[in-house]
Amino acid sequence: MADETNEIVEAVFEAVAEAAPEIRAGLPSRRLKSGSENPSGETQMAADVFADDLLQTRLGGIDGVGEYASEEREDVDDVGSGLSVTVDPLDGSSNLKPNNTMGTIVGIYDEPLPATGDHLVGASYVLFGPVSTMMCAAEGVVHEYIVDNGVRNLVTEDVRLPDDPSVYGFGGRVPEWFPDFEAFAREVEQDASMKLRYGGAMIGDVNQVLTYGGIFSYPAFTNAPEGKLRLQYEGYPCAYIMETAGGASSDGSQSILDVVKTDDIHARVPVHLGNRELIDRLEAALD
Ligand code: AHM
Ligand code: MG
């Protein structure tokens, strides 16, 4: 990757880290519904709108960032010239009311939006857990940081997905799963080395998989064959991070990074992320 691209990617990561404590500090007073819907038809929390506005200002203000798009706004914002940034400002915001984990997800692309997965030049997420941590993937490597006062402090250099998977988390309503996915899920449940860990914010669930090894799925449904999660804001960035850490991603038949849906910035995709062996078994089961 060109030095200049790399510098902009790092500038985006730094700006996200700087915004993280502000997003966190803004949560206690914004646990209410905003009264509006996002482009996916979901009721927005006041915190979703707040985090989106803050990140649009900060990331859109970086020299070398040309476009900003978010799960919480209809259209792509033209903010200058350069790389394109996509954001899920507050992933898992329905966890705000019961005070559970949430996160912020960012993808950085070197082409105009909607971009394809092969144009990712970096991706990152902040996990708002008991502490705020941040995963940053770029140039073939993933690093994990603790975010302290808006600054990243390295905690794990070159994060690698553990070889022996031990956790799984499958989203959505079981009666709406397709039978072939349900059969795969039952098989995983029967494995004595695997334990259910599911928190309702993909970023928390994905981070557990990255920490312990395993699989996270938010699958296709009988009444929603494209699943729930959005390709540009959630699917691509998490697939990029997972694959860069040595894991695998799938929409059920191919790497999520190979899925092409450039006609709709808010397009959805079934998401499966985890150890290669589990993703291979999943793809065989859904074949
Ligand atoms: P959000 O980005 O609007 O919060 O939606 C995404 C979240 C994911 O983090 C999580 O995996 C999923 O929605 C859970 O949804 P549900 O509780 O509807 O199954
Ligand atoms: Mg989300």
For 196, list phi and psi in degrees, rounded to 5: -70, 125
**pLDDT of residue 1 exceeding 80:** no
- 67 touches ligand 1 (CB under 6 Å): no
- Ligand 2 centroid to Cα of residue 237, in Å, is 11
- Ligand 1 centroid to Cα of residue 203, in Å, is 9
Choose one of 218, 232, 269 to mutate for the ligand 1 pocket test, by most ligand atoms within 8 angstroms of C-beta. Answer: 218
Question: pTM surpassing 0.75?
Answer: yes
Q: What is the pLDDT of residue 43?
A: 86
Question: Which residue from 162, 158, 160, 209 is spatially nearest to 188, judged by alpha carbons?
Answer: 209
Q: What is the pLDDT of residue 118?
A: 98
Residue pLDDT, tens place only, 259-278: 999 999 999 999 999 999 99
Quick one: pLDDT band at residue 33, thresholds 50, 70, 90?
confident
Q: Are strands 43-45 and 65-70 parallel, antiparallel or unpaired?
A: unpaired
How far is 238 from 232, CA to CA, in rounded Å? 10
Q: What is the pLDDT of residue 278?
A: 98
How far is 280 from 255, CA to CA, in rounded Å? 11
- Residue of the CA atom closest to atom 15 of ligand 1: 200
Ligand nearest to the CA of 233: 2
Q: What is the pLDDT of residue 32?
A: 78
Average pLDDT over residues 58-74: 97
**pLDDT of residue 155 exceeding 90:** yes
Q: What is the pLDDT of residue 103?
A: 98
Q: What is the pLDDT of residue 35?
A: 82
Residue pLDDT, tens place only, 186-225: 999 999 999 999 999 999 999 999 999 999 999 999 999 9
Q: At residue 115, what is the residue type? A: A
The ligand 1 atom at the shortest distance from the C-alpha of residue 92 is: 4
How far is 120 from 278, CA to CA, in rounded Å? 24
- Ligand 1 centroid to Cα of residue 171, in Å, is 8
- Ligand 2 centroid to Cα of residue 233, in Å, is 7
- Residue of the CA atom closest to atom 18 of ligand 1: 172
The ligand 1 atom at the shortest distance from the C-alpha of residue 103 is: 9
Start-to-end CA distance of the chain, whole Å, equals 36
Q: What is the pLDDT of residue 116?
A: 98
- Ligand 1 centroid to Cα of residue 229, in Å, is 7
Q: DSSP label at 221?
A: B
Residue pLDDT, tens place only, 82-135: 999 999 999 999 999 999 999 999 999 999 999 999 999 999 999 999 999 999
Q: What is the pLDDT of residue 266?
A: 97
Ligand nearest to the CA of 40: 1
| H runs (alpha helix) in 115-223 | 179-190, 202-212
**pLDDT of residue 146 exceeding 90:** yes
Residue pLDDT, tens place only, 42-54: 888 889 999 999 9
Q: What is the pLDDT of residue 34?
A: 81
Query: What's the mean per-residue pLDDT of the chain?
Result: 96
- 172 touches ligand 1 (CB under 6 Å): yes
Question: Within a 13 Å sphere around the CA of 159, how many CA atoms are in the beta-carbon half?
Answer: 27
Question: Which residue from 209, 211, 215 is spatially nearest to 272, judged by alpha carbons?
Answer: 215
| Domains, the chain, with CATH or none | 2-156 (3.30.540.10), 167-286 (3.40.190.80)
Average pLDDT over residues 175-191: 98
**pLDDT of residue 37 exceeding 80:** yes
- 104 touches ligand 1 (CB under 6 Å): no
Q: What is the pLDDT of residue 45?
A: 86
Q: What is the pLDDT of residue 30?
A: 83
- 162 touches ligand 1 (CB under 6 Å): no
Other Cβ atoms less than 10 A from the Cβ of 284: the count is 10
